[in-house]
Amino acid sequence: MNNFQESCFSVLVLLVLLLQGSCSDPGVVHKAVGDSLELIADYPTDGLEVQWTYNETVFAEFDEANINLVRPKLFHKRLKMKKDSISITVEDLELRDSGSFSIIANTNAVQYPTKIIMLHVHELIRDVQIEYSDSWLQSENICTFHLRCLASGDPNPSYSWSGHQIQTQGAYLNISLRPAESATLTCTANNTYSVKYTTETVVCREKSEGQRFCIKMNA
């Protein structure tokens, strides 16, 4: 080869390497606890061999016509195999399933680009409630509400309050109202994956002459 041919050849090799590199870029996938992750090897089946790995450990293989579990303990009974679509589904995802999955496929003639899936499993915020206690401050003629926002599903979400010209972070909120005043407040709980909110109205109401009491009403 002369110099010109040589440099053309290396540019070509570089291009091929770059293209392969970009094809195997990891796809980041976010899922909630309890979701499923399907790992499909959608290639022509003739002479196909497939390996599925988790954190670089092979846990299943497809060979000729069957999918075999190599590490049956890894996802313990949470794997569903479909021979016709050559896919494995990890069901009922858990937080600890977060990690790197890959699908490596080839025939005698073709090595397909490896598919890499970076899985992040998150807790899902399921429900948000507002708990409260109240008190009547006779000397100042005000109702004080001590509100607490409480989410279930994720033990550590972010909380924020809004409404009644309030915009604040944190699970707790104190609010004082004069008689006959009311406030409609929304509490929001979020994590990186999900968000839920709930709204309540609190009212400072006169019960009878000279007697006040503080109540909460559903919005």
Ligand X SMILES: *[C@@H]1O[C@H](CO)[C@@H](O)[C@H](O)[C@H]1NC(C)=O
Provide, rounded to whole angstroms, the least separation between the CB of residue 146 and ligand X: 5
d(CA 175, CA 144): 6
Answer whether 121's CB lies under 8 Å from 161's CB: no
Residue closest to ligand X when measured from CB atoms? 99
Provide, rounded to whole angstroms, the least separation between the CB of residue 166 and ligand X: 11
Provide, rounded to whole angstroms, the least separation between the CB of residue 191 and ligand X: 4
The site for ligand X (CB under 6 A) is made up of 55, 98-99, 146, 157-158, 172, 174, 190-192
**In whole angstroms, how far apart are CA 108 and each of 50, 116, 194, 197?**
12, 22, 45, 55
Cα 105–77–67 angle (5° rounding)?
30
Provide, rounded to whole angstroms, the least separation between the CB of residue 97 and ligand X: 8
- Which residue's CB is nearer to ligand X, number 98 or number 201? 98
- Which residue's CB is nearer to ligand X, number 186 or number 191? 191
- Which residue's CB is nearer to ligand X, number 162 or number 190? 190
Answer whether 145's CB lies under 8 Å from 171's CB: no
For residue 173, the cross-strand partners are: 147
For residue 7, the cross-strand partners are: none
Tokens, residue 19: 């293209």
Provide, rounded to whole angstroms, the least separation between the CB of residue 50 and ligand X: 21
- Which residue's CB is nearer to ligand X, number 27 or number 47? 27
Cβ-based neighbour number of residue 194 at 10 Å:
17
- Which residue's CB is nearer to ligand X, number 3 or number 169? 169
